Structure 1
Amino acid sequence: MTKNFSRRSFMSKGAAGAVGLSLFANFANDLFAAVQKQSLYSAPSDLQITDVKCAYIRGGHSLFVKVYSNQDIVGHGEAVDATPGTYHLVKMMGERIKGNNPLNMHRIFEDVRRRGFFEGAQSGMYVATLTAIETALWDMAGKALNMPVYQLLGGKFRDNIRVYMDTALYQSSLPSPQDFADAATEAVNMGMTAVKFDLDQANDPNKYDKYNWTASPGELQRMYDQVAAAREAVGPNIDICCDMHGRYDLTTGMKVANMLEPLNLMWLEEPIPAENLEAYRLIAESTSTPICTGENLYLAHPFRRLLEIGGADIIMPDLQKAGGLGEAQRIANLANLYYVPFAPHMVASYLGAMASSHVCASVPNFMILEWQIYFHKNPMFKEIVDFEGEMVVDGHIPLSNKPGIGVEINEEGLRKYADENVPFFA
C-alpha cells in the first residue's frame, strides 16, 4: 500500500472554495512539505530482506554488514575480534534470512542460531557474525518504523551514555608511571571522568618467562607504581579501571586485586582467562576491589552461571560479538536480577558505540561504556561512518534520536581502509 500525494490534488481537496483558497495556501504548503518528508515506503508488514553484504578493516578484525530490503531501506551492523575469515559465514547467513521480514529480528536470530547448533553457534565466529547481522536488523526496523532503536527496546532510562577512556597506553611500549599519570591527565582534560589502563606486559623484563602466568615481585611492583601514579595525578574523584586481558593465573589475580585495594579502582578487569568462572568467584571473594569480566563470553548462557556463583561484581559483555542488541539487553536484565552493574566492552567504530548506547539507555543497571582514545587520534574512525553532532561531549555519548541506530557506514570512507583480501560489499 503506497502513499501517493500530489500538490494539486491536496490543494483541490483541502480548500472549501475559491474564497478560502488564498487563506489556506500557506497552511497547505507547510503540511504538504511535512507529508513529503515522511517515509513513502510500503507497509512495514511488506518489508523483506533481499541481500546481506559485508566489508572488513583492521586485518579482518572489524566486520561491517549491510542488510538490504525490498523497500530500499538498508540496515547497518558491526562485529569485532572473532571475525577474521568469516566472509563466507556472512554470505551463508544472508542466504538463510532472505525473504524474512526484518521486524521479526528475535525470530530470525533464533532461527539462525538454532540452525547452527552443529556449526559453532555456541560462541566465537558464528555468534560474532550473527551479532553484526542482528544489529543491522534493529537498524533497519528502526528506519522502517521511524523510531530510534532504544524505543524498539522498550524506551530509555537516560539521554546520555557515560563512557570511560581506554587510554590505549599499551604495555608493549614499556610505559613508565609518569606515562600513566600523563595519559590519565590527558583524558580528564578531555572531559572524561573515568579512565582505563592495561597492566599486562608481555615484554616486561621482570617476567619469569613468556609462558609463565605468575607475576614476579618486579611485575607486581611495576603495576602498582603505574596505577599509583595515575591516581595521584587525577585525585580521588576520577574512576580508574585496570585490564589484565586474562593473561595471569589465579594466584596473581588475587595478589593484584588485593595489592590495588588502597587505590580504589572502579574495577580490575579479566585477571584470568574467561573459561573458569569458579576461579573468578575465588578472586571476587578474596578482595574488595570490584572484579569485572565478560568480554569473551558469548550469548547470555555463561553469564547466568557467572552471576549465580558471584563470579563478578560487574559484567562487561562486548555488544559487537556477544549475540546482538537483543541478547545484550537480555544479559543486562539478567544481571539486574543480581543487582550487578552492566558496563559493556566496546572496541568497535562509532557505529558500534552508538548501537551499544541504545542498549545502555534501555536498561536500568547501566554503569559505563568503553570509549577509545583512537576516536580522537586516528582519522579513520571519523571517515568510515556518517553521523551528526559530536561523538562525545563531557565524557558522555549523546544518544541519537534518529530512526534506527543513527550512525551509518560511509562506504566511500571505509573503502580506503578495507581488507584487500576480502570482497568489499559484494
Structure 2
Amino acid sequence: MKPTEQIESTLDHVNMYSTPSDLKITDIRFTDIYGAPMHCSLMKIYTNSELVGFGEVRDAASKTYALMVKDRILGENPCNIDKIFRRIKQFGWHGRQSGGVCGIEVALWDIAGKAYGIPVYQMLGGKFRDKIRMYCDTDIDPHLSGVEAGQRVKQRLEKGYTLVKFDLGIGLLADVEGALCAPLGFLDQMKAYPPEVLFHSRATDEASRALRNKVYDLHNIAHPFTGIRITEKGLDYLEQYAAEVRSAVGYHVPLAIDHIGHIGVEDCIKLAQRLDKYTFAWLEDLVPWQYTDQYVHISRACQTPICTGEDIYLKENFLPLLQSRGVSVIHPDILTCGGILECKKIGDLAQDYEVAMAIHMAESPIACMAAVHTAAATENFLALEFHSEDVPWWSDLVCGLPHPIVQQGYIAVPDTPGLGIKALNDDVIAEHIHPGIPGQWEATEAWNNEWSHDRLWS
C-alpha cells in the first residue's frame, strides 16, 4: 500500500465532524432517572460539532456536583482529558462528592474516542481481554431463610454468572430476638427511619426536611460509634445462613459478601472467623475505608480476602490500604475514584502490591461501559459488579450495544468509537424520570458564569 493510500485508509476511521484539535465544549445537560437500580443523573456534554459525550453522576448523588464546574470546562477542547480533569479534580471528594468530576471525565473519553474513531480501551493502551466478567449483586429479602436465599443465588448462576455477591449481616438479624445488642431504642429508630427515605424523597416541605435530617443523623454514624454488637445467637444465625446458601449453591462458585452492617472491628473479626470455612470470595466494606489499622487487624485475624474501595477518591488514597496489606481486593467505582484513567492507574498501583481489582457499579449502562473499557485495559481486573439484573429496561436505556448488554454473565468489549454507545434512548428515559426532579436535558445556562479564584496555593 502506498503512503497516501495508508493515510486515506486511516482517515476512513476518523470521525471528521470536526478536526479533533478544533473541538470545543459548548454545553452540559442532565436527566435524572430512578430505578436503574437507584437514582442516576445521566449527562450529555455537547461540542461545537455533532459529537456529544455521554457521562453520568455517581448513583444516589446530585448533579450539582457536575453543574458547579460547568464554567471551568466551557470552551475547552474535550480531547484534553487529563488537563481538564486536573483543573476540576479539586472539586471532587470521597463517596458521592466526586460524582460530578468523574462523570465529566467519562463523557470526555467518550467524545475523544468518537473524534478519533477508536474505542476508549485503545486509548488506554489496548485490552487484556475481549469480554468482561460480571458479578451479579443479589438483593435478598431479609425475611427469607438461608435456603431460600441460596435458591435465589442459584438462579443467578443459571443465567450464566460465574461470581455472585449477596448480603449477609445485621440486616438479617433485625427480627431475630436476642441476636443483636445495642443501646435501648437505637435499633427501633434505625428501622423506623430507613435510608431509602433519602433516595425517594425530594419534597421541600418542613416535615420532609426534618425526616431527611433524622435519617442523616441515624445512618451517618460510623461503625465504631453505633454500639451495636452481634451476640453468640446472632453469630450462630449468620453462620447457619451462610452454610445454607453454600449448601444450595455448592463450593465451586465464588460468592462474595456485602452489607455486613455498622458494627465494630471486634465483631467484624468474630463474624469473619465464623465465615472462613465457607470460602467466600471476599468480605466487603467491613469498616469505613479510612480505618487502615482496622483493616490490617481484620486481615490478619481471618483467612477470607478483605475488600473495600467504592468510596475512595484518587489513587493516592488507596495507597495506605495497599502498603499496609490491609486488603486483598480493591473495589473502586469509576464515578467516585476519579474516572476512567484514574481507575486504570489505581488498578496498576494495586498490581504492584499483588492486589486484585474488582470494580463497583450500581449505575446505568453509561457508567457500566466506562467500567468495561477500564476493565479491558487493566491486567489485574477480577470482576465488574452488575446491580441491575432485575431491572428489565436497563439495557433499553442506550442504543448501539448488544441486547441485553450482559449475556451469560459477561459483557463483550465493543470496538466501536468512544464508550460504544451510539445514542441514549430518550423514550425509555422519559418513562423513568425521578419523581420530584422533572425535566429531560433542560438548559443549564444559569451555571455558565460561576467563578472563583480556585487556586489552592499562593
TM-score by length of structure 2 reads: 0.79
How far residue 245 of structure 1 moved from its aligned partner, in angstroms, is 5.0
Distance of aligned partners of 1:219 and 1:144 in 2 relative to their CA distance in 1, 3 Å threshold: same
Structure 1 gap ranges (5+): 1-31
Distance of aligned partners of 1:245 and 1:104 in 2 relative to their CA distance in 1, 3 Å threshold: farther
* 1:257-296 pair list within 5 angstroms: 257-296=272-311
Residue in 2 that maps onto 1:27? none
Give me the identity figure in percent.
33
Counterpart code for 1:401? D
Q: Does 1:235 align with 2:289?
A: no
- The 2-side partners of 1:170 and 1:315 are apart by 27
How far residue 301 of structure 1 moved from its aligned partner, in angstroms, is 2.3
Residue in structure 2 matching 1:208, options 151, 164, 181:
181
When the two structures are aligned, how many residues end up with a matched partner? Answer: 383
Please state whether the residue corresponding to 2:349 is helix, strand or coil: helix
Give the number of the structure whose alpha-carbon radius of gyration is greater.
1
How far residue 228 of structure 1 moved from its aligned partner, in angstroms, is 1.4
Segment drifting more, 344-353 vs 135-144:
344-353
Residue in structure 1 matching 2:115, options 125, 144, 151:
144
Residue in structure 1 matching 2:43, options 65, 70, 75:
65
CA contact (8 A) 1:57 1:417 kept: yes
CA contact (8 A) 1:62 1:83 kept: yes
Residue in 2 that maps onto 1:186? 155
Aligned structure 1 segments of 4 or more residues deviating by more than 6 angstroms = 34-38
How far residue 251 of structure 1 moved from its aligned partner, in angstroms, is 0.9
How far residue 38 of structure 1 moved from its aligned partner, in angstroms, is 6.3
Residue in 1 that maps onto 2:144? 175
Please state whether the residue corresponding to 1:320 is helix, strand or coil: helix
Residue in 2 that maps onto 1:199? 168
Residue in structure 2 matching 1:56, options 32, 41, 50:
32
TM-score by length of structure 1 reads: 0.85
Residue in 1 that maps onto 2:408? 394
Residue in structure 1 matching 2:417, options 403, 417, 423:
403
Segment drifting more, 144-153 vs 406-415:
406-415
CA contact (8 A) 2:147 2:248 kept: no
Segment drifting more, 356-365 vs 343-352:
343-352
Structure 1 residues 89-130: Cα deviation after superposition (integer angstroms, max 9, x where no partner)? 32232221011111111110000124x3xxxx3334441111
- Return the structure number with greater relative CO, CA threshold 8 A, min gap 6: 2
Please state whether the residue corresponding to 1:283 is helix, strand or coil: helix
Q: Does 1:381 align with 2:394?
A: yes
Distance of aligned partners of 1:275 and 1:81 in 2 relative to their CA distance in 1, 3 Å threshold: farther
Structure 1 residues 170-229: Cα deviation after superposition (integer angstroms, max 9, x where no partner)? 43xx22111221012101111111111111243243222324332222222222122212
Residue in 2 that maps onto 1:39? 15
Structure 1 residues 350-374: Cα deviation after superposition (integer angstroms, max 9, x where no partner)? 22222101001101100111112x3
- The 2-side partners of 1:229 and 1:106 are apart by 49
CA contact (8 A) 1:157 1:363 kept: yes
Residue in 2 that maps onto 1:417? 432
Counterpart code for 2:405? M
Residue in 2 that maps onto 1:29? none
Task: Tell me the C-alpha RMSD between the 2 structures.
Answer: 2.2
How far residue 36 of structure 1 moved from its aligned partner, in angstroms, is 8.7
